[in-house]
């Protein structure tokens, strides 16, 4: 079991800080928690790197998606669309 809240209120330990990173990035920390988190970052030699890594993960994941379809996939989707239109037209006529 981790002793998350056993330290004095003012000082956030690194072990606590890493558990708050996502809430910090999501903007869901209370103002008081946010101040404690930022105060910790300001004097900790290592947690800023941890936070930078989490930010980098998010930024890189966002850039993974490519909106470019290969020509082959594009052809497949266009024929799926046309097939569906043809089926619809037939069903309407029937």
Contact residues for another protein, defined by CB under 8 A: 2-3, 7, 13-16, 18-19, 21-23, 26, 28, 45-47, 49-50, 52-69, 73-74, 77-78, 80-82, 84-85
> Using CA atoms, how far apart are residues 55 and 25, in angstroms rounded to an integer?
8
Contacts of 27 (CB under 8 A, 6+ apart): none
Smallest distance, another protein to C-beta of residue 40, A: 10
Report helix, strand or coil for 49: helix
> Using CA atoms, how far apart are residues 52 and 18, in angstroms rounded to an integer?
12
Query: Which residue lies nearer to another protein by CB, 31 or 71?
Result: 71
Q: With contact defined as beta carbons under 8 Å apart, do 39 and 24 qualify?
A: no
Smallest distance, another protein to C-beta of residue 49, A: 5
Supply 57's token pair.
Answer: 């993960």
Query: Which residue lies nearer to another protein by CB, 35 or 53?
Result: 53
Query: Which residue lies nearer to another protein by CB, 23 or 41?
Result: 23
């Amino acid at each position: 079991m981790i002793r998350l809240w056993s330290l004095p209120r003012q000082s956030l330990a690194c072990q606590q800080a890493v558990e708050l990173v996502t809430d910090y990035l999501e903007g869901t920390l209370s103002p008081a928690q946010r101040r404690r988190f930022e105060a910790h970052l300001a004097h900790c030699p290592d947690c800023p790197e941890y936070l930078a890594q989490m930010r980098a993960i998010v930024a890189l994941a966002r850039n993974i998606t490519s909106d470019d379809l290969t020509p082959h996939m594009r052809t497949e989707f266009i024929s799926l669309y046309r097939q569906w239109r043809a089926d619809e037209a037939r069903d309407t006529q029937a």
